[in-house]
A and B are shown apart, each in its own frame.
Chain A
Amino acid sequence: MRISTLFLVIGCFAFVSPSLQAQGQVANQPGAAVNAGGGGDYRSTTTENMSDRLFDVNSDSVDMENGSLQWKGKTFFLGNSRLMRARFERYLAAPAPAGDTKRYLEIFSQIESLLAPNVINDKTWATNQQAAFDLLFEAARYELDGESSLTLASQIRKVWEMRREFRDLGVNQNQLDVLRKKQEGIVINRGEQLELANDQRAEQSAKKAKGGALVKSTAGTTELGYRAKDEQKTQAEIVANQTKMTVLALQAQVEFQSQIVQYLLARRYRHCIVACAFYRVMFRSSSQNVRVGAKEVKEFFPISDYVPTLESLDGLCREAINDVAVGVRTTEELFKQGEVFGAFERLQETYFLGEYEPVIQAFNPARKRELLELWRDLRELQRVGDERDLANVDQYLNQVSAKAKDFPAAAVRSKVESAKAASNMQILAAQQAAVSGDVPKAEAALERAAKFWPLNPAIRDFATKAIAHQDVLAQKVPEFDRLHTDGKWRDIFAKRDEFAVALIQDKERLAKLKAVVVRVGEIEAILLQASSLAAQGNPYLAWDLLQRASAIDPNDLMLARTRSDIAPLVADYARLLGQAERLERDGHDAAALTAWMAAQELNPISEVCGTAVKRLAGKVAGAGTAAATTGTPEVPEAPPEVPEAK
């Protein structure tokens, strides 16, 4: 765990040995009267104040995407979302754990009672620790515990061993101090003796100098040197021993705090509480601040000036336990009200907050099974939603709604319908763009359509049609060319839409198509008008229109058919018009004029006749002289047919 890398400031000498406590060395510290065990200031309002600051924040929520739980402003990281889902699903499917949950909870209560500040004193300090320690093994036998109590017991045992080692080091330290003092006395004694001897020798030398022999003055210095060296060696051993004790004390403190923080982050609140209780008893009050994992704990509490203490951790755990209990009660109540989806949400939040709480683990298995079914449907619903498989959303929506009446299906359905509509609109835009030949625009619209609804069947249809369109293109161009060459305008007109799509990129052929469509379309309009006039009893006017259509395309089949329909009604008129046209074509303007006038008598409002009469009359009036001055009149090769007036 990362916490092990975060050993920060060294807390000096955190151990409070039983012997020192017995000597009353902590008796004059604050709270000692009720806190003889060396615990923190349990009477203070630290926890309450901290709770007020921490627990007045927003509501709880589970973030499946990030795999975290937001609870009263604090974030539990629960692993990746896939594992979260799997764990919750496993919980819903799992049967209730074996063992007496009530008894299990009682064990933890007993441990807390044994280590309570008002119980711990000089007499009970050791025995209560041992009794609480033994209860941990009993708790570890329950399935609910997951043998976490054994881990705590091991940690406690380790601290005890460290404490014993520390005590041994303390004894050794005392012995070294005694030795060093003795050696120091020896060195001082030897030094003084040497100084005295030297003085005596100096006096004797002075006397002998007047007539005596030389006196030796360095006797005894060698022994003094050895004695001083022994004293220095002992001093070095004392310093090394002190360092070893300091490290040992720090190691014990750090390891235990690591375990406490680990329990909190793992949401094993009850273990965290009893670990705090053990810590208070085993370590003296100057070591109650949480030094280990401070970074993680501060991240857990989003407050800048937060100083983690055992009380804050303890209070947090108790609040979490309480919230879990409330959550389970709420879930039950929602079940009773028939609000299954609400119950599901509350249970999910509560589960991730207090996964290892007995009340969660022992939740009604039948209801868990019911929620498991809902969970699977919800997961499928989410899957189809993530995949934007909107066609199948309805199916799962109905399933979920059938199981949970309070599920907000309408909102989901509304969004689904909106997405479907948006996708279809984009496909429509793509189709229009494709028809107009704007391929990039069509592609962009299709891409947007797929973004809204990737599995939209209309997209597949569009693709199929696009492929078919390519085939049609390959066939339509030669067909158009053949029909155009053969002058089959009607056939082209009948397939104008197909040709328009196929020839959209071919401007030359498109112009030809347009000309054909305009020409045939004009004939069609005239034929329609002529038929209408004939039906109203104006066959002569209808015939005039047909004459106009004939000028556009005399070979049009529909025109020929209509002419044949109307011709019996206007036989004389038609014959006169035919003759007039033929005479005019042959240059017999006056005879043609006579024929036109005869026709006009039959159809006085005929625009065709009126125009022809006006045109030819002017021509004959002006050209009469020339004709008149011509010599022998020419005999026509073939006499014109006779236009007879009625």
Chain B
Amino acid sequence: MPKKIIDILSIDDVITFFDKKYIDENIYNYMTKEVITVPRNFSIVSAIQKFEKYNVGRLPVTEFLHSKKIVGIITLSNILNKLLTVTQSIAGKIENEEVKNTEISADFIKNTPKKFFKFEGRGVYFNCTGKVASITKKYFKGLGIDRGIVQRIAIICYEAETNICIHSLGGTMTIEVDDENNVIICAIDKGLGIPDIDLALTPAYTTTSEKVRALGF
């Protein structure tokens, strides 16, 4: 059964007793008489406002406005804890997303001012070739420039990216637009080296593995 609220005795009040040596006195005299409460149907925001306005550490929660019946109590740390839990779960989700996009973050492009954008793909893996190219394409398409130019940019990115994925030990790619609107695509990888240059110059010679060639590369 909800109990009616009369007064409130806080830790602060108790400390004051000890401080002023009122230990033997009747607590009734030192209790907070005008209790600040919050109705249970009010928002968390209004509770926070009350915490600030009246500088209290806790708020008894009443059944409804002007009611004196207590149904619970809420403290700032209750709210903070809840907020932290929520933030944590959001952060967890974001983290998962980030793990998925370790190579390139599409958001990075979204948040970068339009003309100068730059991103890097580190350790691009074979199963996601085309990722840099698709992201780059989406970006340039969004700028509303000629479809043919967007295609060329995407194809160049794709070829460079595929080479990094298939023929190197990993690498990075940077795509940027300079002051004069030139699109600069830079692909740097860690190569395996060429043991026999003459052999490498033979027409149709390839070091690509059978498995990779079967996939159409």
Q: Do A and B interact with each other, yes or no? A: no
